[in-house]
Chains A and B, each alone.
Chain A
C-alpha cells in the first residue's frame, strides 16, 4: 500500500525542497535510453510541455515525478473496489478494417475510452467535488494509464479473435519496436526529436476528441506491420502532448 494520504505532509515538504527541479521522473542525465520505457518517454515529453502552474501542482502531488503516477495504479488494484472494474477498462477493440469499436466490450465493463472519460470527468470538475485524497490520486493514476493505453498500438484487439500485437512468446511488440525506435538516443535527444512541434501542430494533436484518439490508435496499429518505428514514435509523441494538454487543462496554463 502506497497511499499518499498519510505521507502527504512529507511529500509537501519534499516538494518545497525540490521546487523548480525536473520532476518528470525520467531524469535528464541517463545514458542512452537504458531503463527508459515507453511510458517513461511519454511522461518526460508531457512534463516538458506542461505549464509552470501544472508542473507546480503535479510536483506537490507527486514529488517522485510524473512517471511515478502510472505505477500508483497498481496500489489501487490491490483494493477490491477498484480491482473489480479497473482491469476491465484496459482494453480496446477494433473491427477488421481497424476501426475503433466500443461494442464488444459493452457487456463487460467497457474499455479504455470509458476509463479515460471517467477520470477526465472528475479531474476537469474538481471545483464540483471535494474528493478524498484516495480518490484524487486514483483519478490521476487512472487518467495517465488510460492515456497510455489509448496510445498503445498493441492494445486494440481484432474482435472476435482478440489477436494482439505480441510475438510468438507473448511479448508486447510495441515495447520491442519502441526500443528499436528510441534505443540509440538519450532522453534529451528523444525529447528534441519528438518534442519540437509548433503551437499549431501541437494544437492539431490535442484538439481531437477522445474518440478520435482511439480511432487514430486503431488506424496506426494497422501500420505497425509496415512502418512500426514511425508509428510508435508518432504514438508516443501524441500521448506526451495530450497528457500535457490534460494536466494543463486541469491545473492551469495552456500548451
Chain B
C-alpha cells in the first residue's frame, strides 16, 4: 500500500515538474466535454458534427495548447478569474489585463448565437467551440479562481513530503487522482448521476451566477489549507474530491446547456 502511495506521489511530482499549466488536466477537461456530449439533443449533436466531424472531446484542451501561439495569446486571460478574500467573483482585478473567463464566455456566447448574422466561417465557429468547451471547464476548476493577494499558482508548497510547483497544480490534477486509468466517457458516466431538477437548477442563471457559484465552491481550497500554508494537509486530495466531483459535473451540464442553445436548430 505504501509502495502504491509512493508511486502515485512520484508520478504526481513528475507531472507537476514536466507539464505546463493545463486547467483541469486533459482528463478533467475531456470528462467535462464527454459529460456534455451525453446531454446533447440530436440536432445539436448533428450540427456540431458538421463543424467537427471527428468529434470534439479530443479538442477539450486545444485552448491550453494554442494560447501559447501569438495569434491566440489574448485568450490566456480567459482561462482564469479572480475573487475577493470572501470568495466573491471580482472582475475588477482582471479588467486592466484583458479580462477573465466571463470576458471570453460573453464573446463566445455572442458569436455562436449570432454566427449567421456575423457570417462566421466554419473555422471561426470551430475556434469558438474549442474555446467554449475549455473555458467552461476552467471556470469550474477550483484552482482557476485566484484570490487577489494569494494566487494559488504562485503558492509554493509541499504535499506529503514532496515539493510541488504550486497548490494550483495539485488541484488541476485532481481528476487524474479521482479517476485514475479511466477513459473520459467512462468518467462522464460515473459523474452523470444528477436528477433532472438538479441539472435544470445548475444550468439556470447567468454567467455571473455560474462564476459566483464556482467561487463559493472554491473556498474549500482555503479551508483545507489556509493561505500561505507551506506543508499542505496530507488529506488535501481526499477532502477536495466532493467539490471537484461537483464542479466537473456542473461544468458538464452547463456546457451541454450552452451547446444545445447554440446548435439545436
Contacts and interface: CB of A to CB of B under 8 A. Distances in A.
28 contacts: A81-B96, A84-B96, A85-B96, A95-B118, A97-B117, A99-B114, A99-B117, A101-B118, A102-B107, A103-B107, A103-B111, A103-B118, A106-B74, A109-B98, A110-B98, A110-B99, A110-B103, A114-B99, A117-B106, A118-B91, A118-B92, A121-B208, A122-B92, A128-B88, A129-B84, A129-B88, A135-B92, A211-B110
Give the 5 A-B residue pairs with the shortest CB-CB distance, closest first.
Answer: A107-B74, A85-B96, A99-B117, A128-B88, A102-B107
Contacts of B119: 95, 97
Tell me if B's interface is mostly helix, strand, loop or mixed: helix
Interface string B169-210: 000000000000000000000000000000000000000100
Interface residues of B, number: 20
A121 B107 CA distance: 17
Contacts, number: 43
B163 interface: no
Contacts of B99: 110, 114
Interface in A97-135: 97, 99, 101-103, 106-107, 109-110, 114, 117-118, 121-122, 125, 128-129, 135
Nearest to A101: B118
Contacts of B92: 118, 122, 135
A101 B111 CA distance: 8
B96 A106 contact: no
Interface string B92-118: 100110110001001100110010011
Nearest to B92: A122
Interface of A: 81, 84-85, 95, 97, 99, 101-103, 106-107, 109-110, 114, 117-118, 121-122, 125, 128-129, 135, 211
Nearest to A124: B208
Nearest to B117: A99
Interface of B: 74, 84, 88, 90-92, 95-96, 98-99, 103, 106-107, 110-111, 114, 117-119, 208
A84 B98 CA distance: 11
A121 to B, nearest CB: 6
Contact of B110 (A95, A102, A122): A102
Contacts of A85: 95-96
Given A99-B117, A109-B98, A121 B91 contact: yes
A229 to B, nearest CB: 28
Contacts of A129: 84, 88, 90
B257 to A, nearest CB: 18
Contacts of B84: 129
A114 B103 contact: yes
A85 B98 CA distance: 9
B96 A114 contact: no
A205 B90 CA distance: 29
A81 B92 CA distance: 11
A52 B107 CA distance: 36
Q: Which of A121, A122, A135 has the most CB of B within 10 A?
A: A121
A99 B208 CA distance: 25
A114 B106 contact: yes
Nearest to B113: A211
Nearest to A135: B92
Contacts of A95: 118-119
Contacts of A97: 117, 119
